[in-house]
Amino acid sequence: MHNEKLNQLRTLARECQSYQIERGLSDAKFVTKVSQVGSTKTYKRILDDADPLEELNVDKQLANYVAAVEFIKVLRASDRPPEPEYPDFDNIESSRAAVARAMSEETIARFVVIEGENGTGKDAVKNALLKTWKSSIVVVEATELWRENVNPALADIIVALGIRRREDDSGDSFKLPMHPQARLNTIREELCKRKLILLINEGHHLGPRMLNLVKSIINQTPTVVVLECIPKLLARLVGQNYEEANQLFGNRLCERVRLVSPSQDEIATLFERRGVKFADTKTENQASGAVATEAPQFGNWRYVVQVCREARESANGKAMTMDQFASAVTRARSRRIMQQKQA
């Protein structure tokens, strides 16, 4: 009977995971959106067929996951699936090539910085890297807490690496070490097992101690460290911590990738792939050029996607004139201005 309930629980968890994958949500964002699944740790353990879940209240979790699946049914009826991402666009290609070079590097030059303004595709780059190196990449998101104290950062990295309950020789379960050095030793042991990519999102939240810690990880393990960040905030981090940053951004830097605003050519390609049709080539060029000019002001690719959606829905499969397209742009611009004010 117990095994039957475990199987039911894991079946429900996999239904939840299917929705998570469809929507491109990280574990952290998924458990926040669908709170019935519990913590990230609990969710991952239930998905792990090798975990006996001995100390979990299975009946309680069954009720929680039934509620989670019901909630997901409601979400499916209202939320949008993620916008398609295109691996042949320049920002993704250049980022993936930089990480590939770092992966092939045998020296300590295994640090990659990917910096871009909001909407230039940092999430798309992250998703592309996850698809390219499915079993070799670990993603963790830095927070403000990382700036002053390495202990929360070390704990987040341990969780991201999947280091959870283990039995030692005495039969005691693994517990998260309390002290930074013990946590670093745990991380170092895991990272030395094979070459991994440690992708740190929101990397501008690092402080001097974390810069030194990243340097130590590169020195002492075969790990490739990828930092995703906003340029101005990264410049402030480097300026305020020059000596620490200099050691990391010097001979440990493999490549620094700067994500650029959408180009006219890629905007035109996006229109074509999303089914936005124009009356003639001149109209298409005029439309893509106008959007490329406005994109940096209104959120880069987020604005382009919004324009594309408005144009596609209003045209309903028919070719658009420039006046019709201008109306779609006006609606998209208004939406983005409202979203920016709310943010």
- Cα(61)–Cα(3) distance, integer angstroms: 14
Lookup: tokens for 81: 């699936």
**pLDDT tens per residue across span 5-30:** 888 999 999 999 988 877 778 888 89
**pLDDT tens per residue across span 47-56:** 888 888 888 8
Domain range annotation of the chain:
2-78, 90-258, 264-342
The backbone region for 5, taken as left when phi is positive above 0, alpha when psi lies in -120 to 50, beta otherwise, is alpha
- pLDDT interval class at 165 (50, 70, 90): very low
- Cα(58)–Cα(90) distance, integer angstroms: 48
The backbone region for 202, taken as left when phi is positive above 0, alpha when psi lies in -120 to 50, beta otherwise, is left
Q: Residue 189's pLDDT is what? A: 93
Express the helix, strand and coil content of the chain in percent, nearest 5 each: 60, 10, 30
Q: What average pLDDT does this structure show over 246-260?
A: 93
CATH fold group of domain 90-258 = Rossmann fold (3.40.50)
Q: What percent of the chain has pLDDT over 90?
A: 64
Q: Residue 208's pLDDT is what? A: 92
- pLDDT interval class at 173 (50, 70, 90): low
Q: What percent of the chain has pLDDT over 70?
A: 94
Q: Residue 4's pLDDT is what? A: 86
Looking at the DSSP bridge assignments, the partners of residue 332 are none
Q: Residue 164's pLDDT is what? A: 54
Mean pLDDT computed over every residue of the chain: 89
- pLDDT interval class at 146 (50, 70, 90): very high
